[in-house]
Structure 1
Amino acid sequence: MTERFVQRLSGIHAATVVPMRADFSVDEEALAAHIAGVTAVPGIRGLLINGHAGENFVLSPAEKRRVVEIARAASPKDCLIVSGVNHESSLEAAREAAEMEQAGADGLLVFPPNSWALGHADDCTLLHHRLIAEATSLPLMLYGAPVGAGAMSYAPRVLARLVEDPRFVAIKDGSWEVAAYEENLRLIRALRPDFAVLGSGDEHLLTSYVIGSAGSQVSLAAVVPELVVALWDAAEAGDWTRARAVHEALYPLSVAIYRDAPGGRATARLKTCLKLLGRLGSDALRPPQPPCDTRETAALAAALAAAGAQVRTAA
């Protein structure tokens, strides 16, 4: 099962959002439509659900389970479904892992607790991952946090120890910094050649593909899946002229969503993009994140247009 799971991680996997109603409850019908629409795009090989784009830090355990169940029902049978596991408590994270397996996930991505950004002992990291591994039989993935996320980003010595655990078979590397991505890739390949490294920094996908990547789990693929697939296909074919052209179309959108100040606004901006494209009726998200303001919305609309997407509605 593990070898097959690693093989299925190849290519583009969309990290999806969770539509909300005006009262901040999960809109299950809209969620099913969102997932069905994304997975219908040729070249989308799987999903990352209950990730950061899916507001996993503000969903209840029951809501996360429903997200898995809905994704399973709304996506094609051959769609690989990876669910994030994100909780400050290792015991609760372990329970969540077991729940996601029961709900139908094919694999799990273990996020470091947000509190780790302030600092933590190496053994804390190892214990957290061990407890989750003991709670499930599913293939497990690591999450490489952005270098700007403080101590949440694993130092090479910690990453090496995590990779030694055979229960973990892949990493979503979101270093968001090219040198760190390459350093992690080389470290992991030396330790575990069978370990899948997914270059998943939305702003530097092209560079990741030049250096080497097994695939990507990215929220950009939930907004413009055709373009992200085109970038991957061009890179796989070694057509770097075409890959660079697709990158140029994607770059302004990636900046508008992920880089423009203030930080931490990606989920709000992803939802607004989907609303602008007419694929989401509401761009509501749970507090404390406010909705996009007029400046953000205008920047997103311009970036979508630059990417060749048709903006259908006004936010």
Structure 2
Amino acid sequence: MSGTRFHGIYPSTVLPMRADFAPDWDAYAAHTAHCVLRPGIRGVLINGHAGENFVITRAEKRRAVEVTRATLDGTRLVVAGVNAESSHEAAEEAREAGAAGADAVMVFLPNAFALAHTTAMAVLHHRAVADAVPGLPIFLFQAHHAAGRMAFTSDTLAELLKIETVVGIKEGGWEVDGYDALRRQVRRLRPDVAVCASGDEHLLACMVHGSDGSLVSLADLMPDEIVALDAAVRANDLPAARALHERLEPLAEAIYGAPPAGRATARLKWCLREMGIIPDAAVRPPHPPVDEADAASLRAALRASGL
């Protein structure tokens, strides 16, 4: 599975919900079409963290793949997130995603790995998924540098790269030096694997180091600008890249950087509702909705970013 098939920009979509927290599939299809059916967008990451993959059911994840596949044309790739504490459950999620039409799956580590995580555990979990869907491409997910012990060590990454069906890595470590170290290791061991810079607040810095694409939820709101940023960096047009960074950064900081942490999905949904793209900003508990202080910050960031 070499080549550049999985290179490119992928919005990481949210799952719109109604006030009773039931998925709004019509709104989901409209949201997906709005940010994915655009020039320069390679595909979409669904059922990721932005899609609340830790609080939606396996049936809802499967339905999300089906709706996404029905919404997009055949040229767009669908990468479906797999997130379960049990490796057996993760394997079942992957099977269902592949059967529903996903072109690849992205394996998120069990949240318990933040407390205790060894190379053997990571390999066992990913092998369980790979064995369940032979031939289906797999993306790895490099977790935030502050997510306890969840992020891969270089030794763990080296072992995971031995899985032949691994085609890409969403590098979400949120630390530029760590990103570059991972990129260099992958280039040395598996140059066919796409390394995708995916820290929304520092896309420019990581892209300048070198990137094969990005799977980011900021592209839900500003897909054209992120495509343009990627193109400007590839063209060595630093003034254009900096100008785009200045447009993207206010919103990136307000959504991902402002405390408290872990509020990105609620903030994304609030912005999408404010922009008229989805009708409701509901997020499932335990996350509360955006409060007034957050709303004021987000409204100012939308204006500063030109939205």
Q: Aligned letter for 1:17? A: V
Partner of 1:285: 283
Which residue, out of 113, 131, 134, partners 1:134?
131
**Secondary structure in 2 matching 1:197:** strand
Matches within 5 A, 1:147-158: 147-158=145-156
**Structure 1 ranges of 4+ moved more than 4 A:** none
Alpha-carbon distance between aligned partners in 2 of 1:160 and 1:141, rounded to the nearest angstrom: 14
1:71 paired to 2:68: yes
Q: How many residues align?
A: 306
Deviations 1:272-294, CA, capped at 9 Å, x for gaps: 01011111110001000000001
**What is the root-mean-square deviation in Å for CA atoms of aligned residues?**
0.9
Q: Check whether the contact 2:6–2:167 (CA below 8 A) recurs between aligned residues.
A: no
Structure 1, gaps ≥5 residues long: 310-315
TM-score (norm 2): 0.98
Deviations 1:84-134, CA, capped at 9 Å, x for gaps: 010000000001100000000000110111111111222111100001000
Which residue, out of 103, 108, 112, partners 1:111?
108
Partner of 1:197: 195
Structure 1 position 235, deviation (Å): 1.1
Partner of 2:212: 214
Alpha-carbon distance between aligned partners in 2 of 1:295 and 1:224, rounded to the nearest angstrom: 23
Q: Aligned letter for 1:159? A: L
Q: Check whether the contact 2:195–2:213 (CA below 8 A) recurs between aligned residues.
A: yes
Alpha-carbon distance between aligned partners in 2 of 1:240 and 1:90, rounded to the nearest angstrom: 44
Partner of 2:255: 257
Partner of 2:4: 7
Structure 1 position 243, deviation (Å): 0.3
Structure 2, gaps ≥5 residues long: none
Structure 1 position 8, deviation (Å): 2.8
Q: Aligned letter for 2:165? A: R
Structure 1 position 260, deviation (Å): 0.4
Deviations 1:196-232, CA, capped at 9 Å, x for gaps: 1011111111011110000000000011111111111
**Secondary structure in 2 matching 1:44:** coil
Alpha-carbon distance between aligned partners in 2 of 1:46 and 1:7, rounded to the nearest angstrom: 13
Alpha-carbon distance between aligned partners in 2 of 1:41 and 1:168, rounded to the nearest angstrom: 27
Partner of 1:313: none
Q: Aligned letter for 1:249? A: R
Percent identical pairs in the alignment equals 52
Q: Check whether the contact 1:8–1:80 (CA below 8 A) recurs between aligned residues.
A: no
Partner of 1:30: 27
Deviations 1:122-173, CA, capped at 9 Å, x for gaps: 2111100001000003111100001011111011111111112212121110
Partner of 1:58: 55
Structure 1 position 9, deviation (Å): 2.2
